[in-house]
Structure 1
Amino acid sequence: MVVVTYDKLPPLTIGPHERVFVLTGAGISAESGIHTFRDQNGLWQRYRIEDVASPAGWHNDASMVWNFYSQRRAQAEEVAPNPAHYALAELEAKLENRLFLCTQNVDPLHERAGSRRVCHMHGELFKSRCENAKCHTPPHEDHGVYLTHETIPNCVMCGQRLRPHICWFGEMPFELDRITRELARCDWFITIGSSGAVYPAAGFVQEVRSHGRARTIYVGPERPDNAGHFDECRLGKAGEVVPVLFA
């Protein structure tokens, strides 16, 4: 493993037939002003994670959870993509479906920057779905619902409450089968701004290495918890590193 500041290594050269898997975490959005639950004095500091990000929290006080995500939405409306988001959108325009962009973030900053093929493994902040697991109404976008309804809206199909389309602690992340397939066939695995502490995403780099074919690169301001599994850790802010990461 090589751990250096981002300007000490040359850009990555992606071959004409090579596939790239990019995993983004809270660090890339934090540079745009999205608070993480690790921030001091941020939105998360006023709530216990288990109260607002778990099925039990929803069961115990759905109104508080609804209000919490209303605040998160209001915050997300005020921020814009940073250079790292735009650089990944440009990479997608060049590689097209040879780039698989998977994010742990629920904000829409990748899409706002122009990315069109984003896999949100932890859900999407501006979507809701029925809380009834037997109701097959698909998740839907509702940018105004959280900001204009003081009470929790009901599903138009079955009448039960809507809930945030978010993967809470204790729930299964979305699209894991698709993610697993992409991990198995990528030639480059690049993690940007993820702490390496939240599973299953923190284990993706080990899964890639088990296939023995991909180069593994980490980008972030400091070493992640799983740093030992990367070929290179390029230390620096995502907004500075990612725009010069690829040749």
Structure 2
Amino acid sequence: MRKLVVLSGSGISAESGIKTFRDMGGLWEQYDVTEVASPQAWENNRQLVLDFYNQRRKQLFESEPNPAHYDLADLEKYFDLRIVTQNVDDLHERAGNSNVLHLHGELKKVRSTVDPTLIYEMDHWELKEGDICEKGSQLRPHIVWFGEPVDAIMEAAEVVSQADIFVVIGTSLSVYPAAGLLQYVSSSVPVYIIDPGSPEYQSSPSIHPIKEKASSGMKILKKKLLQEA
């Protein structure tokens, strides 16, 4: 089976109603993202950080995968498919994808503040002050915050370097280090970029833009890939 590697971003989740920080509006309009998503924020105003991620988690529990997620899952029948995602939701997994690498953490997981290897699944949306791990420390969102290292990036680079086909969907390729993954793709590998705008990439014969939203773009790409399979 040929190796199909997909880098996904917020654009694919947006069609499921998952809002980015800048889209959340309301209370959050008065805050900079680093005030709710950084180690400093956690130290300065823990309740604010908890409230922010509780709202995001509640939104995720109320959301469902969309056709783009399901089309990707269906491609596992025909390709050795790996997904590297910038998204912290679990919509790829819920659609049926079995091999997903989360660069920036997972919203439905929390971890110990004294032992980062103690990670727990959340089956409800609210994390509260006083929720502790087995070692007695406060639990925090299992999210890579601004100022923290993206530990999964080297694993992602290795996955991307093995691609026979590389797909970028729902990301403008402007968020680093994830955007730098494109440089690990072999020059002979076809690259399909699904985005309705104009992502930041250098044009080359191997890059094939599909200027559509995630769901419509995936239908086009899926048909093409299956015709060539």
User: How high is the TM-score relative to the length of structure 2?
Assistant: 0.89
Instruction: Tell me what 2:187 maps to.
Output: 212
Residue deviations 1:206-239 (CA, integer Å, cap 9, x gap): 232xx32311110011111235467121101111
Residue 21 (structure 2) pairs with residue 37 (structure 1): yes
Correspondence for 1:163 among 133, 140, 158: 140
- 1:85–1:113 CA contact under 8 A, matched in 2: yes
CA RMSD of aligned residues (A): 1.9
Task: Name the counterpart of 1:195.
Answer: 172
Amino acid at match of 1:124: E
Alignment of 1:1-247 (within 5 A): 17-39=1-23, 41=25, 44-95=28-79, 98-132=80-114, 135=115, 137-144=117-124, 146-147=125-126, 150-156=128-134, 158-208=135-185, 211-226=186-201, 228=203, 231-246=207-222, 247=226
Distance 1:227 1:194 in 2: 15
SS of residue matched to 1:245: helix
Output the TM-score relative to the length of structure 1.
Answer: 0.83
* Residue 136 (structure 1) shift: 5.6
Gaps of 5+ in 2: none
Q: Is the 8 A contact 1:73 1:125 kept in 2?
A: yes
Cα distance, 1:140 vs structure 2 = 1.4
Relative contact order higher in (CA < 8 Å, ≥ 6 apart): 1
Q: What's the offset of the Cα at 1:102? A: 0.9
Deviations 1:121-158 (A, max 9, x none): 111000000111xx2643110222x42x54241111x2
Change (3 A) 1:136 1:68: closer
Fraction of identical pairs, as percent: 42
Q: 1:195 to 1:239 in 2, by over 3 A?
A: same
**Given the superposition, is the C-alpha separation of residues 234 and 44 from structure 1 closer, same or farther in structure 2, using an over 3 Å criterion?**
farther
Shift of 1:80: 1.0
Whether the 8 Å CA contact 2:129–2:138 is kept in 1: the answer is no
Asked whether the 8 Å contact 2:57–2:107 carries over to 1, the reply is yes
Give the total of aligned pairs: 222
State the alpha-carbon separation in 2 of the partners of residues 35 and 42 from structure 1. Answer: 12
Q: Distance in 2 between matches of 1:27 and 1:45?
A: 21
